[in-house]
Homo-oligomer: A and B are copies of this chain.
Amino acid sequence: MSVSRRPAPKRVTLEEVARIAGVSRATVSRVVNGVTSVDENIRQAVERAISTTGYHPNLAARALVTQRAEAVALVLPGEERMVGDPFFGRIISGVSSVLRPLGLHLVLMVTGKDTNDQVLTDLRRGRLDGAILIYSDLTDPLPALLVNSRLPVVLSGRPRRPLRITYVDVNQQAGAGLAASHLVGLGRQRIATISGPLDNPAAQDRLTGFRAAMASLGQASVVSVAGDFTRESGGVAMERLLTEVPDLDGLFIASDLMAHGALPVLRRHGRAVPDQVAIVGFDDSSAALACEPPLTTIRQPVEAMAAEMARQLLMQVEHPDTPTAAVIFDPTLVVRQSA
């Protein structure tokens, strides 16, 4: 069988298109960039030349003169945590929903010892226009570095230390409040909570929000045990909680993944959900559906939040003097079967 691979297509330049259309490069450039002040006949001639030659503008050349990379980074936490967290798919969907129509590249970077430099360097090199930071680690210097260098950056979630940085977050306290009123509304009397790691701002807000709401609902003291947002930690915390509050009948677990880890423990102890113990999670990640029974939870509008992060970033790219802002989304209660 004779293999006939056609040769790689030669790169067509503005120059050639111009020659074929019988005009100057400048005119072709205008047509390509949709400048209106071009004679209709000439425009058509140029467009014909473009399609017959199969011309595609070279982005590197354009970037060189426009000083725009047309690409932004999405910086995710190190691989261990990333793998298996259904959260990220939604973030990616949200971000690319605004980037894709604009033809902007979404460059994925996972944080690691060398990656911080990488992001900063690429930004300086003009290879990236800005960065969206997810979960940037508690001790991570990257946000401050970018802010100080006046580079476009948006953070997901409130930074743990005050920083002049734009961020997008969900109203964590309000979400915890929804969980509290739902559990109380169900008539539960012995309500406890499994929180996230207390050095995490989101975990803090959920816990204080939950306590505040419970207090205003007449339940002053709430026992809490901290996990670290992983499934395993949910199981461990559940065991401890059963020891500390043997008669609990209501539970707010600060992440769906931890709830997913807690459920088997309850089952093993013979506690029926929701009959004996009502559970409300947080996130509405796909882990909520993986639960049995399906988890009642607090939904974060992750896709919308991610899209907003992208929009905020692009504003900074276009207008470097855009003031920083905090955009806070409202969570909603999703009632399924666990409470």
Contacts and interface: CB of A to CB of B under 8 A. Distances in A.
A161 interface: no
A183 to B, nearest CB: 24
B150 A58 contact: no
Interface residues of A, number: 65
Please list the 6 inter-chain residue pairs (A to B) with the smallest Cβ-Cβ separation, ordered nearest first.
A84-B286, A60-B63, A83-B89, A59-B127, A56-B124, A60-B64
Interface string A56-82: 111111011000011100100001001
A290 interface: yes
The binding surface of chain A is classed by DSSP as mixed
B83 A150 contact: no
Contacts of A114: 100
A269 interface: no
A9 to B, nearest CB: 7
Nearest to A105: B107
Interface stretch (A90-98, A137-145, A215-223): A90-98
27 contacts: A3-B164, A5-B164, A6-B150, A9-B150, A11-B126, A57-B125, A58-B64, A58-B125, A59-B69, A59-B122, A59-B126, A60-B64, A63-B63, A70-B127, A79-B89, A84-B89, A84-B285, A84-B286, A100-B112, A103-B118, A105-B105, A105-B107, A106-B108, A231-B290, A287-B290, A290-B290, A292-B292
Interface of A: 3, 5-9, 11, 54, 56-61, 63-64, 69-71, 74, 79, 82-86, 88-90, 92-93, 96, 100, 103, 105-110, 112, 114-115, 118, 121-122, 124-127, 148-150, 164, 231, 260, 264, 267, 285-287, 289-290, 292, 320
Contact of A127 (B105, B110, B289): B105
A305 B324 CA distance: 42
